[in-house]
Amino acid sequence: MKKNIDWENIGFGYYKTDYRYVADYKNGSWSEGKLTTDENIVISECAGVLQYAQTCFEGLKAYTTQDGSIVTFRPDLNAQRLIDSCERLCIPPITEEMFLEAVDSVVKSNADYVPPYGSGATLYIRPYIYGSSPVLGVHPAEEFQFRMFCSPVGPYFKGGAKPIVIRVTDYDRAAPHGTGHIKAGLNYAMSLYAIQEAHDLGYSENMYLDAATRTKVEETGGANFIFVTKDGKVVTPKSGSILPSITRRSLVYVAKNYLGLEVEEREVLLEEVKDFAECGLCGTAAVISPVGKIDDHGKEICLPSGMEEMGPITKKLYDTLTGIQMGRIEAPEGWIRKIV
Ligand SMILES: *Cc1c(COP(=O)(O)O)cnc(C)c1O
């Protein structure tokens, strides 16, 4: 039976559910994973994750579609990205198969927490792997744990998606040849100061520039950019230090193959942002958050789409991708994984 939760008003935060998945890496191999009801972890005070931040994570959602099925969206891409993150952090990677089985079992066992269709709420799934054995001299841990829990989260936009105001920040998120392209906790630790400062000054997000030249648009702390030109082309920044967003890659596909739009994946100069017609931030949580205004050190870039609603092309992209996710529009082969 569905839990008695006020789905529309739960917000985005940790909400404990009944089961989570755990697998351990010891003596050179991953154990068979299992579900547990224990949400607490006991590890060495000297665990690699605690001393040198050896950890990476993923984020994806399960939700109820129009026909009442419970599904996940392209979880194979989350699996692949977690494997890539592991490799860059000297963590023994799990397999795609193990990842997908873990997602299925966490969602199935917590099916009562999957919000109903139409509520706008979803079940957020958080997979992560961390070094659990003691590490004092700087080297990778020898033992690791792969865990996955889930938490129901409320609709990202309550009462419609209002455009946000962001700022160009002087802090850097990722260095060339660094770890910007993987989903590592360390990328978030170093962005906390910048986001706190942005919030204190009234901005919703930071626009990070490339660290080497500070002339090119990279992304925000947790979402990729998508722009629309005045003649209706979709433009998205290309860089080796951007996290490859699954939402952004899906939107690019939708733009080309569902909407017949031209798409350019290329370097985007900060200087040309003032010429764009629309701007949005894309990631799993919101799909797209429209940006209305960008503050570049006191110089305001006002997107022509304004501060009241999403730009028309952003809206089409949003409606099409959410339509595919919710089962109202036919999905490309392999995008939707049915769990229940
Ligand atoms: C997770 C994340 C995104 C969004 O990726 P999705 O796969 O679309 O959720 C974008 N940027 C950063 C830095 C991220 O960590």
In Å, how far are 57, 122, 161, 287 from 314, measured between CA atoms?
28, 22, 11, 11
Q: How far is the CA of 5 from the centre of ligand 1 (A)?
A: 27
Distance CA 150, CA 55 (A): 18
Distance CA 31, CA 325 (A): 33
CB of 224 shorter than 6 A to ligand 1: yes
- For residue 1, the model assigns a pLDDT of 87
Nearest to 187 by CA among 85, 81, 61: 85
CB of 179 shorter than 6 A to ligand 1: no
- For residue 155, the model assigns a pLDDT of 83
Distance CA 324, CA 317 (A): 11
Residue 293: active-site member: no
Q: Looking at ligand 1, which atom is closest to the CA of residue 282?
A: 8
pLDDT digits (tens, 9 = 90+) for 241-265: 999 999 999 999 999 999 999 999 9
pLDDT digits (tens, 9 = 90+) for 181-227: 999 999 999 999 999 999 999 999 999 999 999 999 999 999 999 99
Distance CA 175, CA 194 (A): 16
Q: Looking at ligand 1, which atom is closest to the CA of residue 180?
A: 13
Q: Which tokens in the block code for residue 219? A: 């992304």
CB of 243 shorter than 6 A to ligand 1: yes
Distance CA 289, CA 44 (A): 40
Q: Which tokens in the block code for residue 142? A: 């020898």
Q: How do beta strands 60-64 and 34-36 pair? A: unpaired
Q: Where are the beta strands (DSSP E) in the chain?
A: 20-26, 29-30, 34-36, 55-57, 60-64, 70-73, 122-131, 144-153, 164-168, 205-207, 224-228, 234-237, 263-266, 278-283, 287-296, 299-302, 336-338
The pTM for the full model equals 0.97
- For residue 160, the model assigns a pLDDT of 72
- For residue 159, the model assigns a pLDDT of 67
Q: How far is the CA of 58 from the centre of ligand 1 (A)?
A: 9
Which one of 2, 158, 183, 293 is the catalytic residue?
A: 183
**Which residues of the chain have a pLDDT value below 70?**
159
Q: How far is the CA of 137 from the centre of ligand 1 (A)?
A: 32
**Mutation pick for ligand 1 pocket among 284, 322, 325, 335 (CB with most ligand atoms within 8 Å):** 284
Which residue has a Cα nearest atom 5 of ligand 1?
Answer: 245
pLDDT digits (tens, 9 = 90+) for 290-301: 999 999 999 999
